[in-house]
Amino acid sequence: MGRWRPPGEKKSNYITIEGAELMTQELRQLWKVERPQVTAVVSAAAKNGDRSENGDYIYGKKRLREIDSRVRYLTKRLDAVTIVDRKPTDSNKVFFGAWVTVENDEGVEQRYRIVGPDEFDREPSFISMDGPLAKALLGKCLDDEVSFNTVDGEKVVVIVAIEY
């Protein structure tokens, strides 16, 4: 009997072409390269006899569980996501996949790309569409003033540029 956990916050099901390719490459690497190597190590370690004190066997089995868990996650996630592979018809508005340049009250400009929750940690300039800034930006136009909540309080930025 497992420990009950409350359901997590629902993730958006959108991903860029690049993000989908990276997830597919990771899945292929884990399944075709790493897993066979670890399985061979575990098999060889199992032939050595006593498994309770065999480090290769113990850590190999642990790594196999990690690989299998990640493979299950990637397979389910790739089946569930929608790959966004085309530009929107109205490129003057902020939509998924857009590069958005914003300017804050001090005149400092920052450039972000709105991506899915599975790929926002690839680069510091990528923000998840589920985050407060991206949610506030989506659907807005050039020169719109956008306010959003952060840990430090409410912030206001102006959209300076939108690129796809």
Residue type, 159: I
Co-location of 28 and 43 in the same domain: yes
Structural domain harbouring 55: 14-83
Co-location of 18 and 72 in the same domain: yes
Any idea what the CATH number is for the domain that residue 58 is in?
1.10.287.180
Residue 24 CB neighbour total at 10 angstroms: 12
Which of 29, 53, 83 is where one domain is finished? 83
CB 121 within 8 A of CB 75: no
CB 80 within 8 A of CB 68: no
| Number of domain units in the chain | 2
| Mean pLDDT calculated for residue range 130-136 | 94
Q: For residue 48, what pLDDT is reported?
A: 82
Co-location of 58 and 27 in the same domain: yes
Categorize the per-residue pLDDT at 6 as very low, low, confident or very high, splitting at 50, 70 and 90.
Answer: confident
Helix (H, G, I), strand (E, B) or coil at 151: coil
Q: For residue 79, what pLDDT is reported?
A: 95
Nearest alpha-carbon partner for 16 in 147, 123, 118: 118
Q: Which residue has the tokens 């407060």?
A: 132
Which of 66, 83, 100 is where one domain is finished? 83
| Mean pLDDT calculated for residue range 33-38 | 97
Mean pLDDT of the chain: 91
Co-location of 104 and 139 in the same domain: yes
CB 69 within 8 A of CB 88: no
